[in-house]
């Protein structure tokens, strides 16, 4: 019999037990006890007493499940592995990550949520969502340094509950001196529409599959939600009304209510409802036509910034846009758009 994530186990050489949450190396598991703490234990020193039904994303399942030894003749002292530290890990980089269970059925599939700790610190954290004027804890516990852990699986019907989420955490190290980190409490507003669009799930450093990443802390700095005044909102709505008369509604939208930057999504499924019968060359030409159309409309708007979202993909559209900018639009300035907001999938053009 082998141990699986989600199994209920008890310790052979000490009292207690809990639920298996993850594997640590080839011979240890992390067991969540009744208090919510994850305790490392050798596989040979635990025995399965019940079965769980927790599902884990395919990119994070262990490749080989170690067998369980139900009898130990000579117990060995428990030795806890010391997590490997990195120079970059001295600064906290913490993320929430969301992955579709079935990317091929993005309109119907459910999702998995993970907590990513890209740092040399242990973290006590609490992940919650807002319900009316109260908060509900969805997961809390301890995560080791440089580790990602599974939080939960949820369906489409729960997306509305996740529009407002919050993460609170405390960072520390065990048995060694460390730099004091401030306690963190970050509230986020999730754009649940992105969960229905496959291209919003992007390549990343933490998972083999594409994921939606929401930063909690980057470089020791907690994320701050932008607060918008009533005056800013009114001005932005007036500007949007003017823009709507000039630019096709299906491809242009304001980036946010407090910014003069225009956002143009050139993904073909955002431009056309049906691509049946179109070759790759036809679709590329259509995307370039939209690119030219927008630049022509804003040719006299000196200083106007326009973000063209082309996606990472195989880079064909990106290279085509750069060629046009270097030859036909030499007078304009262009650069990669904010990695924080678009990854490597967008180019910002400034009209000169």
Cβ neighbours, 10 Å, residue 136 = 9
Separation CA 10–CA 14 (nearest Å): 9
Residues in the chain: 352
Q: Rounded to whole angstroms, what are the CA distances from 345 to 14, 200, 247, 259, 291?
A: 52, 10, 22, 20, 15
pLDDT category of residue 257 using cuts at 50, 70 and 90: very low
pLDDT in tens, 10-41: 877 777 788 888 887 778 888 888 877 888 88
Over residues 226-239, mean pLDDT:
51
pLDDT at res. 292 = 92
pLDDT at res. 346 = 87
φ, ψ (nearest 5 deg) of residue 306: -130, 125
Is 88-222's fold the same as 230-350's? no
pLDDT in tens, 117-149: 999 999 999 999 998 889 999 999 999 999 999
Selection from 236, 275, 280 nearest residue 255 by Cα: 236
Contacts of 317 (CB under 8 A, 6+ apart): 266, 284, 287, 310, 311
**Res. 240: pLDDT tops 60:** no
Q: Rounded to whole angstroms, what are the CA distances from 234 to 229, 253, 280, 337?
A: 9, 16, 42, 26
Over residues 173-184, mean pLDDT:
93
Q: Which CATH architecture has domain 88-222?
A: Sandwich (2.60)
φ, ψ (nearest 5 deg) of residue 266: -95, 10
pLDDT category of residue 237 using cuts at 50, 70 and 90: low
Pick the CATH number of 230-350 from 3.30.420.480, 2.30.30.60, 3.30.1370.110, 3.40.718.10: 3.30.1370.110
Q: Which CATH architecture has domain 1-81?
A: Roll (2.30)
Cβ neighbours, 10 Å, residue 218 = 15
Question: Domains of the chain: which residue ranges?
Answer: 1-81, 88-222, 230-350
Helix (H), strand (E), coil (C) string for the chain: CECCCCCEEEECCCCCEEEEEEEECCCEEEEECCCCCEEEEEHHHEEEEECCCCCCCHHHCCCCCCECCCCCCCCCCCCCCCCCCCCHHHCCCEEEEEEECCHHHCCCCCEEEEEEECCCCEEEEEEEEEECCEEEEEEEEEECCCEEEEEEEECHHHHHHHCEEEEEEEEECCCCCCCCCCCEEEEEECCHHHHHCHHHCECCCCCCCCEEEEEEEECCEECCCCCCCHHHHHHHHHHHHHHHHHCCCCCEEECCCCCCCEEEECCHHHHCCCCCCCCHHHHHHHHHHHHHHHHHHCCCCCCCEEEEECCCCCCHHHHHHHHHHHHCCCCCEEEECCHHHHCCCEEEEECC
pLDDT in tens, 200-213: 999 998 998 999 99
Model pTM? Answer: 0.46
- Tell the residue number behind the tokens 């800013």, with chain if given: 232
């Amino acid at each position: 019999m082998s141990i699986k994530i989600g199994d209920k186990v008890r310790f052979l050489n000490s009292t207690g037990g809990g639920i298996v949450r993850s594997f640590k190396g080839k011979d240890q598991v992390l067991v969540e006890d009744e208090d919510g703490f994850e305790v490392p234990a050798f596989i040979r020193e635990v025995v399965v007493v019940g079965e769980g039904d927790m599902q884990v994303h395919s990119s994070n399942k262990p490749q080989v499940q170690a067998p369980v030894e139900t009898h130990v003749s000579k117990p060995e002292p428990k030795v806890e592995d010391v997590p490997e530290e990195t120079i970059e890990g001295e600064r906290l980089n913490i993320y929430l990550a969301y992955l579709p269970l079935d990317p091929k059925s993005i309109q119907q599939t459910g999702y998995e949520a993970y907590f990513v700790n890209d740092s040399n610190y242990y973290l006590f954290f609490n992940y919650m969502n807002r319900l009316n004027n109260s908060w509900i804890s969805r997961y809390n516990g301890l995560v080791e340094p440089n580790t990602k852990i599974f939080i939960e699986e949820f369906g489409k019907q729960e997306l509305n509950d996740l529009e407002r989420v919050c993460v609170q955490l405390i960072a520390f190290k065990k048995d060694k001196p460390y730099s004091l980190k401030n306690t963190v409490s970050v509230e986020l507003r999730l754009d649940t529409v992105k969960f229905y669009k496959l291209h919003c799930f992007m390549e990343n450093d933490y998972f083999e599959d594409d994921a939606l990443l929401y930063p909690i802390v980057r470089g020791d700095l907690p994320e701050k939600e932008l607060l918008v005044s009533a005056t800013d909102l009114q001005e932005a709505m007036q500007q949007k009304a003017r823009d709507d008369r000039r630019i096709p509604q299906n491809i242009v939208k304001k980036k946010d209510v407090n910014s003069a930057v225009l956002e143009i999504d050139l993904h073909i499924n955002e431009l056309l409802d049906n691509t049946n019968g179109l070759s790759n060359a036809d679709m590329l030409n259509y995307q370039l036509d939209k690119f030219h159309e927008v630049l022509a409309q804003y040719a006299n708007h000196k200083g106007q910034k326009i973000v063209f979202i082309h996606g990472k993909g195989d880079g064909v559209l990106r290279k085509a846009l750069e060629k046009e900018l270097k030859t036909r639009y030499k007078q304009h300035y262009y650069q990669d758009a904010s990695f924080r907001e678009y990854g490597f999938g967008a180019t910002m053009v400034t009209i000169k």
